[in-house]
Structure 1
Amino acid sequence: MKGVVVAGTRSGVGKTVATLAIVRALQGQGRAVQPAKAGPDFIDPSHHEAVAATPSRTLDLWLEGHEGVRRNYYRGDGDVCVVEGVMGLYDGDCSSTAMVAEALDLPVVLVVDANAGMESVAATAHGFHEYASHTGRDVDVVGVLAQRTHGGRHERGIRDALPDHLTYFGRVPPRSALEIPDRHLGLQMGEEAAIDDEALDEAAEAIHVDRLRDAARTPPRPEERVVDDPTDARVAVARDAAFRFTYPATLERLRERAAVATFSPLAGDALPDCDGIYLPGGYPELHAETLEASPTMDAIATAAVDGTAVLGECGGLMALSESLTTTDGETHGMAGVLPATVRMHDRYQALDHVELRARRGSPTAATHDRRRGHEFHYSSVDVDGDARFAFEVLRGDGIDDERDGLYEYRTLGTYCHLHPESGAFDAFVESAAER
């Protein structure tokens, strides 16, 4: 599967809308498109899926390693893969867009905000192209997609100023209907604020699809990872508006190793018969009143006390706590499994790639094992004096005093979003199977 990387000169330049326009343009030519996202993100991929009608792959070197990134890429399915970058092209010390492009040997299409520029757009693109050579990076910036660009003289001025080694791939017009609303954790999810179809069609018409297809390349094939045999474990996965941050690769790995059933705490679903429960991240703070009244939360608490293996990531950690206080000061009871209370804040409390080392055995790691992930949250946790932690934090902030992984019964709550390449979910399935 050939692919291209859609990178930006900076955060907020319009990479997501540009990516969606490219996806729609390729679809218009009858191409099956596999979207992907460089870096740890759940929100942009939801917009990819809303347009491409297929889950977006997460490509992060810190979480997966070079071979893991390539394996995840090739688990996708399509004629062409469109990879949206993270921040600016060269930004990030663990898994920048440039690093992902190098690992996959994919060409880079640079998104430049041309709202108030013409020839300067060409100068900016040329600088990004030359910077790779200057720093010895194997990053191939092959051309430009001009964001917020009018047609006519504006477009011609940009196109004609580009040096011969940079291709003009088209433009995205300045339309308010192409803006995605924000909220405190970034953009709204794709199912909440889908891009207007007519506006996206208009943007797609201004993309030079044939040039993109000619530029696309096929990444090197990865080393295949041997996946352990399936177990008899049954894993229940929460899936609704409060628990929505799940990598496709995570569900794939769980289904390779266990029988998986999904359920909705918000809907008050009966907890499936299971040996393990996975509560992924999401927005429990937006649904705290409903969760407080949900019989499913009581069932999760009962299962935890009975010794079921439970993993709660970020939003899942919050839901497993004793209470959750929102930014308006309202406090709602949660499952009450973990000895902690959670409070939401107006500003984010942590944002980083994470590395943890196990202080003790837990459902995701044996003692001394290391796990990598990422954290991004607006909440803080106050823990009881006798709280136990499964991990020490080697990189990142964690929950409290360089510790993460609140542990009670066989329940683990962590701010760290894990990827299956780390081995955490294999360990979780095996822990569940031991019950």
Structure 2
Amino acid sequence: MMNGFVLGGVSSGVGKTVATLSIIRSLADAGYDVQPAKAGPDFIDPSHHEAIAGRPSRTLDLWLEGEDGLRRNYRRGEGDICVVEGVMGLYDGDGSSTAMVAEALDLPVVLVVDAKAGMESVAATALGFENYADTIGRDIEVVGVVAQRAHGGRHEQGIRDALPDDLEYFGRIPPSDDLEIPDRHLGLEMGDEAALPTDALREAAESLRPERLAAVASEPPASETEPSTGVPADPVDATVAVASDAAFCFRYPATIERVRERADLATFSPVAGDPVPDCDGVYLPGGYPELHADDLASAGTLDELGDLASEGVPVLGECGGLMAMSRSLTTAEGERSEMAGILPADVTMHDRYQALDHVELEAIEGSLTADTGETVRGHEFHYSSADVDSDARFAFETVRGDGIDGEHDGLTEYESLGTYAHVHPESGAFDRFLERVEPPRK
């Protein structure tokens, strides 16, 4: 069982991802087998974790997974020690804050503090974050700090001297232009596009104390209701085709694991024009179809998907998948491309994000991921909007979140479903999808 700790930031933009990657590098170079993880529903930061650690990063989100699901997903990781990168500031977020994840897993918190313009104030900030847990009744332990953008010499020593005895100094990340990850809409560029140089990370990690970080890590409690190896389920006699390329890259490792556990999985690239594999259902994850709209429109795979959907093959699309299932996709610059034409909608990109939140959906009618009356929890973050036909059918009402039109999500046509919500397999939605795509036994 892995010990672990959580890297919590004092705010968004404090440099948690760079600190996380530097710590992963430092621990690995010290001989530890590291499992990365991310608190919150992000896809981009985990891609950078994987580029450095060499294994997929686990997603840890209370809203998406529930407490037991969170613990199960943690335990599916591998390695000696788990480094959990937080989301936003330590206490920010009502659905699943970093502090809530640390509390659910009973893991210590190492605070990432921007020390660019402070010494004693770094200690004051850390002490305030430590004491605030008691103020709000949150059972977490802040055990020390990593000083981001801190110089050596007097600057570093001043930070160390100012820290109270119960807050340990775990080292610093020096300021460096080589530790900047390019960004675009939805966040940073993906790890396979802009992985930080190993030499720069090793140089940044020289001032870290990996043995002390490993020493404060602790083991989370087991899930109370299910085996730690995952939720048992019967196999389904079905093959699921999963789109996997630069346009469809937002998928949780646990989702792919779940499909493989219960069904046969085949991958294909719509951007490359791959034919859709012989299958009983198709999963189109989110990603960046807007950056590859011309290739998608000309490659022919989306046309084939449209034909298959009209013949009754179930297609499930999340966010970018929904966009690809629409009639058309128009970029923020006004360039229009034809998509699969499965759903009665036209999608337009915008310069500003249109939705960002944890979501809860209640099923109006049975669909690929829920029975009538069931609720599904997920996450939405998108820069596009969908203009839907007046007679379009929705599968869900939005209890929380914006969905497609502010009140509904889940456009449904034929046996297919397109939604702006990303869901985790611990929600049960993918199990229902797998069971629905299984062909009837003869």
The TM-score bracket by the shorter chain reads over 0.9
Provide the C-alpha distance between the structure 2 equivalents of 1:100 and 1:332, rounded to a whole number of angstroms.
Answer: 41
Provide the C-alpha distance between the structure 1 equivalents of 2:192 and 2:32, rounded to a whole number of angstroms.
Answer: 23
Give the superposition deviation at 1:38: 0.2
Provide the C-alpha distance between the structure 1 equivalents of 2:439 and 2:404, rounded to a whole number of angstroms.
Answer: 28
Provide the C-alpha distance between the structure 2 equivalents of 1:424 and 1:163, rounded to a whole number of angstroms.
Answer: 47
- Counterparts of 1:265-284 in structure 2, within 5 Å, are 265-284=270-289
Which residue of 1 is the match for residue 8 of structure 2? 7
Q: Which amino acid aligns with 1:9?
A: V
- Counterparts of 1:352-371 in structure 2, within 5 Å, are 352-371=357-376
Give the superposition deviation at 1:226: 3.8
Give the superposition deviation at 1:203: 1.1
Q: Which amino acid aligns with 2:274?
A: D
Alignment gaps of 5+ in structure 2:
none
Provide the C-alpha distance between the structure 2 equivalents of 1:308 and 1:63, rounded to a whole number of angstroms.
Answer: 27
Residue number among 303, 313, 338 corresponding to 1:298 in the alignment: 303
Provide the C-alpha distance between the structure 2 equivalents of 1:410 and 1:167, rounded to a whole number of angstroms.
Answer: 56
Give the superposition deviation at 1:227: 2.4
Q: Which amino acid aligns with 2:220?
A: P
Alignment partner of 1:193 is 2:198: no
Give the superposition deviation at 1:350: 0.2
Alignment partner of 1:159 is 2:152: no
Residue number among 264, 276, 282 corresponding to 1:259 in the alignment: 264
**Contact 2:423-2:429 within 8 A present in 1 as well:** yes
Give the superposition deviation at 1:401: 3.9
Which residue of 2 is the match for residue 417 of structure 1? 422
Provide the C-alpha distance between the structure 2 equivalents of 1:109 and 1:344, rounded to a whole number of angstroms.
Answer: 38
Alignment partner of 1:235 is 2:258: no
TM-score, normalised relative to structure 2: 0.97
Alignment partner of 1:104 is 2:109: no
- Give the RMSD, CA atoms, in angstroms: 0.8
- Per the alignment, in what secondary structure is the counterpart of residue 130 of structure 1? helix
Task: Answer with 100-109 or 204-213: which moved more.
Answer: 204-213
Which residue of 1 is the match for residue 317 of structure 2? 312
- Per the alignment, in what secondary structure is the counterpart of residue 18 of structure 1? helix
Provide the C-alpha distance between the structure 2 equivalents of 1:133 and 1:391, rounded to a whole number of angstroms.
Answer: 39
Task: Answer with 51-60 or 134-143: which moved more.
Answer: 134-143
**Contact 2:237-2:439 within 8 A present in 1 as well:** no
Deviations 1:40-80 (A, max 9, x none): 00000000000000000000000001110000000000000
Which residue of 2 is the match for residue 330 of structure 1? 335
Which residue of 1 is the match for residue 293 of structure 2? 288
- How many equivalent pairs are there? 435
Which residue of 2 is the match for residue 374 of structure 1? 379
Provide the C-alpha distance between the structure 2 equivalents of 1:207 and 1:96, rounded to a whole number of angstroms.
Answer: 26
Deviations 1:176-227 (A, max 9, x none): 1001111111111111111122110011111101110110000001132542
Which residue of 1 is the match for residue 95 of structure 2? 94
Deviations 1:249-285 (A, max 9, x none): 0001111111000100011111100000000000000
- Per the alignment, in what secondary structure is the counterpart of residue 252 of structure 1? helix
**Cα distance change of structure 1 residues 129 and 401 upon mapping to structure 2, 3 Å threshold:** closer
**Contact 2:170-2:209 within 8 A present in 1 as well:** yes
Q: Which amino acid aligns with 2:246?
A: A
**Contact 2:17-2:45 within 8 A present in 1 as well:** yes
Give the superposition deviation at 1:385: 1.1
Which residue of 1 is the match for residue 435 of structure 2? 430
Give aligned-pair identity as a percent.
70
**Cα distance change of structure 1 residues 158 and 356 upon mapping to structure 2, 3 Å threshold:** same
Q: Which amino acid aligns with 1:76?
A: G
Deviations 1:135-193 (A, max 9, x none): 22111000000000111111000011000000000000000100111111111111111
Q: Which amino acid aligns with 2:429?
A: A
Alignment gaps of 5+ in structure 1:
none
Q: Which amino acid aligns with 2:63?
A: W
TM-score, normalised relative to structure 1: 0.99
